[in-house]
Amino acid sequence: MTDRQNTLGPLHGVRVLDLGTMIAGPVAATLLSDFGAEVIKVEQPQGGDPIRKIGPFVEGEGLWWNVEGRNKKSITLNLREQEGQELLKRLVQDADVLVENFRPGTMDKWGLGYESLSACNPRLVYLSVSGYGQTGPYSRNAAFDRSALAFAGLLNMTGFPDRPPVRPGVAMADYQSALFGAFAVMLALYQRDVQGGTGQHADVSLYESVFRFTDIMTTAYDKLGLKRDRSGNMHFAAAPGDHFKTADGRYVAITISNDSLFRRLCTAMGTPETAEHPDFCSHDARWRNIVKVNQWLADWIATKNTDDLVQIMTDNGLPVAPILGVEDIVNNEHYMARDSIVTVKNERIGDLKMPAALPRLVGTPAPPIEAAPLLGAHNSDVYQEGLGLSAAELADLKARGVI
């Protein structure tokens, strides 16, 4: 018995069929698997999930796959073949959740849409993640993370005004959709199991997952005609606020969002009278003079080494964070103290460090993380032990490309 089996998470007993590829759908399933759900990753026989083939690699294994394929079982199944579709319907009968992120219409074309599979199992929670959602004129348009960031308005306000829009350094739309996807599954399971409901179809789109996090962009335009354009690192809730360069050539992120913090900042800088200056005496005044107030702070920060600056700010209860690179993160005392990074044992390519499961639950913590599986590693377990197929039937299905 593995360490994971000895520590049952709060989702122990929930069975998930993960039909997704790449990030948004599969990571929603990963978030569930982190807390004990049994996630069966259903992959095409030839090559499996494309994320397996995206580097960097260690001894031929993709590291991205090893992070997002963790805690899962892998089976191969050709959903384009009728026999494969019939096998999936048998698997669905004992599943709680199905996750897919194909282009809308694809699952219906295979006879595996929500209506068809809910007939096999009325208690099934069926999560569909797509670029533009299951309805609407753009629903069947192709989309990736960058497409959603653009369509949701985020790229239009990210970067500097004299340069092209800038994408975030990670796949934000995919990961935010994964989070909404896992949340949708939990809502549907609660409605089903606690409120006496049935299964249902959850529709999560990449663009809406980003759009939900654009705070007051739409409301401010609706009521005041205000347009959010690219403004570099400035934000209307931070005055002063920017990424400031220190004397030792590093950068720190500072946000001062109210008058009390600004008075504290002025005291820490040894100029308490600045808090009464007409240009700086209120947040609104400081925002109107944001370039001036940011330059005032930048000049002071440029005289301080990073460690000294952080100490001064921290001692005065002011928010500051050095902008860390990964080499800083893996050696940071706070990351270490909270076990924010875990080490996952992988017998094939050695131990792997990766982000820990979140959120933290004190009463029912996440079980230890298990390594991502090789393609089809659990075919025997799922098809023979789970569905009762014989070894000969399994060999025949494999020879004909069904699994």
Residues classed as catalytic: 174
- Tell me the DSSP string of 108-175: HHTT-SHHHHHHH-TT-EEEEEESS-SSSTTTTS---HHHHHHHTTTGGGSS-TTS-----SS-HHHH
Intervals of the chain under pLDDT 50: none
Identify whether 359 is preceded by a cis peptide bond (ω within 30 of 0).
yes
Structure tokens at 112: 């595996």
> What CA–CA distance (Å, rounded) separates 27 from 21?
9
Q: Which residues pair with 85 in a beta bridge?
A: none
Secondary structure of 298-317 as H, E, C letters: HHHHCCCCHHHHHHHHHHCC
Residues 200, 205, 208, 212, CA torsion sign? positive
| Contact criterion met (CB below 8 Å) for 163 and 88 | no
| Contact criterion met (CB below 8 Å) for 39 and 29 | yes
> What CA–CA distance (Å, rounded) separates 201 from 195?
17
Token pair 């790449």 is found at 22
Amino acid letter at 120? Answer: C
Torsion of CA 345, 351, 352, 357, to 10 degrees: 30
Q: What angle do CA 76, 77, 82 make, to 5 degrees?
A: 165
Amino acid letter at 319? Answer: P
Pick the closest to residue 28 from 89, 121, 97, 104 (CA basis).
97
Q: Where are the beta strands (DSSP E) in 177-332?
A: 201-205, 241-245, 251-255, 320-322
Pairing of strands 251-255, 241-245: antiparallel
> What CA–CA distance (Å, rounded) separates 372 from 356?
14
Length of the chain: 403
Token pair 């409301």 is found at 219
What Cα–Cα distance (Å) separates residue 192 from each residue in 112, 118, 121, 147, 189? 21, 13, 13, 34, 5
The pTM assigned to this predicted structure is: 0.94
pLDDT at site 7: 79
Pick the closest to residue 300 from 316, 312, 317 (CA basis).
312
> What CA–CA distance (Å, rounded) separates 74 from 39?
9
Residues 83, 125, 181, 129, CA torsion sign? positive
E strand or H helix that includes residue 15: strand 15-18
> What CA–CA distance (Å, rounded) separates 265 from 260?
9
Phi first, then psi: give them for residue 289, nearest 5 degrees: -120, 40
